[in-house]
Amino acid sequence: MIFEMTLHPESRRLLDELEQLALPPIQTQTLEEARKRLVAPEEPLEVVGEIVDEEFDGRGGSVRVRRYHPRHGGAGPLNLLVFFHGGGWVIGSIETHENLCRQLSNACNAVVVSVDYRLAPESPFPAPVEDCVAGLEWAVACRDTWGVDGITGVAGDSAGGNLAAVVALNARDSAASRVDCQILLYPVTDRNLDTRSYLDMAEGYGLTRKAMAWFWQNYMGEQDASQPLASPLQAESVANLPPAFVVTAEYDTLRDEGEAYADRLQEAGVSVLRECVPGMLHGFLMHPGRFAEVGQVIGRIGKWTQQCEQAGTT
């Protein structure tokens, strides 16, 4: 793939604003300090039809979820999308990703279930995976109660994209819950920190190489990070996985591993729609008021979800 490598003006402004904040590198902060720095941008929230907070029993105890119903239900089948937030498996919550879930609910005509999985290092791998798998199974069991009659998908951004890919792999291998599509938004797919994008964007573009090393260390500790449920790019086979929409950002340390996973899926015969958004930084989808590209990408995800439903994947 050829990258244009022209930084979007708003991306430059965002980086300048972050520089003016003079925040210390996240890997030098305490967990409490690190978790306070990831907050939802102060932008108007998209209006949805209904929001419900509830819990289900996971392997490690109760797991919070936030359920979003689309604003204009009834226009075709109602889908189910189980969402996993980003934050390096260490930070982030259902609150930080509220607006993204609202947008996906409306665009995909879906009940979106955002899972507040356990975080590392207090609950390292595989605890977040266990909560996300359990979240999918719980949501699927509730489909009829919520009036869902369309497809079931998984979605996530960054580390949440990793969890979505892993949950799709697990669903294929366990046959516990069927997944009809996967939406992977600048996903983490491998522990390899030596890709071109990692080296080219190691510093100065938001998410740094050192920060990702810190996230991985907190998540995996001394465990083998090459196992497929941690690094889905290392899976022996990615055949027979559900169709995937893979979004990457041009100025993102994670760009190349997201592209590599899309390549592997395509080579295995999986239907893939992929988009590397020019000029964007990691996490750009959290800023719909700043980037017009956010609404455009979300709109394309919505149309693609409808195509998946029409293809008869239910």
pTM: 0.96
Query: Which residues are registered as beta bridge partners of 69?
Result: 50
Under CATH, what is the fold of the domain 9-310?
Rossmann fold (3.40.50)
pLDDT (tens place) for every residue of the chain, 314 residues total: 545 568 999 999 999 999 999 999 999 999 999 999 988 777 889 999 999 999 999 989 999 999 999 998 656 899 999 999 999 999 999 999 999 999 999 999 999 999 999 999 999 999 999 999 999 999 999 999 999 999 999 999 999 999 999 999 999 999 778 999 999 999 999 999 999 999 999 999 999 999 999 999 999 999 999 999 999 999 999 999 999 999 999 999 999 999 999 999 999 999 999 999 999 999 999 999 999 999 999 999 999 999 999 886 43
Q: Which two tokens stand for residue 156?
A: 């996530």
Sorted by where each begins, the domain ranges of the chain are 9-310
* Contact in structure between 242 and 181 (CB atoms under 8 Å): yes
Query: What are the catalytic residues?
Result: 158, 252, 282
Cα dihedral across residues 93, 96, 100, 106: positive or negative: positive
Within 175-275, residue ranges assigned H as helices are: 196-200, 209-220, 255-267
